[in-house]
Amino acid sequence: MTITEEPPRTKPQQLSHARDISRPGFYVKLVLMALVNAFGIYGILASWASKDFYILAFLAVTLAIADYVYFSKRAIPAKYLMPGLVFLAVYQIYVMGNTAYVAFTNYGDGHNDAKQPAITQILKTSDRRVEGTNTFPVSILEKGDVLSFAIVQDGTARVGDQENPLKNAPDAVIDGERVTEVPGYDLLKLADIQSRQKDVLALRVSLSDNPDDGWLRTDNGTLSYVAKSALVYNEAADTFTSPEGKVYTADAKQGLFVAADGTSLTPGWRVLVGVDNFTRMFTDSRLSGPFFKILVWTFVFAIASVLTTFALGLGLATIFNDARVKGRVVYRALFILPYAFPGFLAALVWKGMLNQQFGIINQSLLGGASINWLGDGTLAKLSILGVNLWLGFPYMFLVCTGALQSIPGELNEAAIMDGAGPFKRFRSVTLPLLLVSVAPLLIASFAFNFNNFSLIYMLTGGGPNFPGSPVLVGETDILISMVYSVAFESGVKQYGLASAMSIIIFVVVGFISWLGFRQTRKLEEVM
């Protein structure tokens, strides 16, 4: 494909701007590519430093391709496509791939990292202070490269390191509770401790030869305490054992260390759980009950939103397309205003206006009525459709106005000659022609409303809730807001479930859009 699109070479072939050293274009390209390479190499070095090898590989490959594409004579179409393709890969393909991957895992609260960090964390939290023991002001010493702790216990100085338990150091100098000097050792100052904080934090000095006595550790470099680990990790068996002898075994299916009695250690880790997340929507009775109610309302909402906005938009467009209307420009500008509002902001404003006690609609427009616009199931649904009509009709008005103006006037004149009345003309001439260009936009509008999360979330939050429902979803929840409610608002965050559900929604919307577009093709054949 690259070769076929290259222009045929004529004899004194003119060099392109970007290849001709005597023209500025070449230097512009050089500077731009130098920048791209500089950023790319910086990114590679940075990801090397932070050990992000996937990012590193991606950057290296992309950079190599970019250099080849822009310095080669052959890849002319690629020069245009490359930036778009890179963004496609980063912002679409990667995101979709990641969502699909997460949908098959148990990623969520309690399982939000890999196994190794989970083990580290369990060990960390189980290494606790032994209750009832003293704390000791600690001095940190260095000999060669080995760090030691020095404390004052019962008036005598004691020194020990990772390998050697605490031993009396009679020749040490004590000032109050703290050891200030031990011959043969260097005393670390605050700044030295700060710069070697990892070693200091990792240092455990046994109190005696008996491991049951525990060990000294410090968190801040000035105070040490006696600690003991409540759990012992056995790497070969992949188990934790508590002092009482309870064994927690790694369960790769759940991503948890589980004991025989069913108790488990926190945190767990991320594991692949297969299609569990996908089937839960249908098999979990807590979800499947409200699910079908919500599915129906989602379709009603999306279809009714498209139809009402289209009807109003088309009606207004037809009226204001008539040359006899005066001041059309002003009216048209006014109608577009709701479109210029950010949708979620408008939803919030409407929420205030529809408030039962304080809202302007009840208070002023209806003279102090007490209509529960957002608290009653049916009224809340109507309110949502009403607000969405207000939000959505300007768009339909715009596209219909455009489409109407592109319909040749002769067609209507011919229909008049044939004796068709205005209604018949509209039905048989204008509408079919209009639909050819507008139908794809109606499908897009359907897909948008099917996932119109911000409107639902901001206006009713899905409420009023189904009374007593075991998951917190309500009359006006649509699928996407149900996903949000189930996966995030019901206490525990479940990214895996949320990803799986949004993939299901994607499939539904994709299928319907495909059906719709097939239908529109038939419309075009009418032409």
Amino acid making up residue 292: F
Minimum distance from residue 53 beta carbon to another protein (Å): 14
Q: What share of the chain is helix, strand, coil (3-state, %, to 5)?
A: 55, 15, 30
Distance linking the first and last C-alpha atoms of the chain: 34
* Residue whose pair of structure tokens reads 């990803």 in the numeric block: 499
Minimum distance from residue 445 beta carbon to another protein (Å): 17
Cis peptide before 432 (omega within 30 of 0): no
* DSSP letters spanning 314-366: HHHHHHHTSTTSTTHHHHHHHHHHHHHS-HHHHHHHHHHHT-TTT-HIIIIIT
* Residue whose pair of structure tokens reads 């005696």 in the numeric block: 208
Helix (H, G, I), strand (E, B) or coil at 493: coil
Question: Which residues, including other chains, have CB under 8 Å from residue 228's CB and lie 6 or more apart?
Answer: 127, 128, 130, 212, 214, 215
Measured at the CA of 377, the angle between CA 442 and CA 444, to 5 degrees, comes to 10
Q: Which CB atom, from 147 or from 438, has the smaller least distance to another protein? A: 147
Q: Pick from 186, 160, 162, 158: which is nearest to 171 by CA?
A: 158
Minimum distance from residue 476 beta carbon to another protein (Å): 11
Q: Pick from 207, 30, 22, 204: which is nearest to 123 by CA?
A: 204
Q: Which CB atom, from 313 or from 463, has the smaller least distance to another protein? A: 463
Q: Which CB atom, from 231 or from 316, has the smaller least distance to another protein? A: 231
Q: Which CB atom, from 345 or from 431, has the smaller least distance to another protein? A: 345
Q: Which CB atom, from 166 or from 380, has the smaller least distance to another protein? A: 380
**Interface with another protein (CB under 8 A):** 50, 109-110, 112-114, 117-118, 121-122, 124-125, 128-129, 135, 189-195, 197-198, 200-201, 219-223, 225, 266-267, 286, 344-345, 355-358, 372, 374-375, 453-454, 457-458, 460-461, 463-465, 467-470, 472, 489-493
- Taking the mean position of all CA atoms in its chain, how far away is CA 139? 47
Minimum distance from residue 153 beta carbon to another protein (Å): 16
Q: Which CB atom, from 126 or from 520, has the smaller least distance to another protein? A: 126
Going 435 to 438 to 441 to 442, the CA torsion angle's sign is: negative
Minimum distance from residue 409 beta carbon to another protein (Å): 43
Minimum distance from residue 499 beta carbon to another protein (Å): 14
Q: Which CB atom, from 161 or from 475, has the smaller least distance to another protein? A: 475
Task: Give the tokens for residue 229.
Answer: 């680990």
Question: Which residues, including other chains, have CB under 8 Å from residue 332's CB and lie 6 or more apart?
Answer: 320, 397, 401
Task: Give the tokens for residue 54.
Answer: 């996937």
Is residue 460 a contact partner of residue 380, using CB atoms and an 8 Å limit?
yes
Q: How far apart are CA 114 and CA 107, in angstroms?
A: 10
Q: Which CB atom, from 26 or from 344, has the smaller least distance to another protein? A: 344
Is residue 54 a contact partner of residue 90, using CB atoms and an 8 Å limit?
no
Minimum distance from residue 227 beta carbon to another protein (Å): 8
Q: Which CB atom, from 430 or from 494, has the smaller least distance to another protein? A: 494
Minimum distance from residue 13 beta carbon to another protein (Å): 51
Minimum distance from residue 286 beta carbon to another protein (Å): 7
Minimum distance from residue 524 beta carbon to another protein (Å): 34
Q: Which CB atom, from 372 or from 412, has the smaller least distance to another protein? A: 372
Task: Give the tokens for residue 439.
Answer: 């139908």
Q: Pick from 153, 161, 166: which is nearest to 208 by CA?
A: 166
Q: Which CB atom, from 426 or from 453, has the smaller least distance to another protein? A: 453
Q: Which CB atom, from 138 or from 439, has the smaller least distance to another protein? A: 138
Minimum distance from residue 50 beta carbon to another protein (Å): 8
Minimum distance from residue 353 beta carbon to another protein (Å): 12
Neighbours of 303 (CB within 10 A): 13
What does the DSSP 8-state code read for residue 132? T
Minimum distance from residue 127 beta carbon to another protein (Å): 9
Q: Is 384 exposed, middle or buried (0-12, 13-18, 19+ CB in 10 A)?
A: buried
Q: Which CB atom, from 50 or from 164, has the smaller least distance to another protein? A: 50
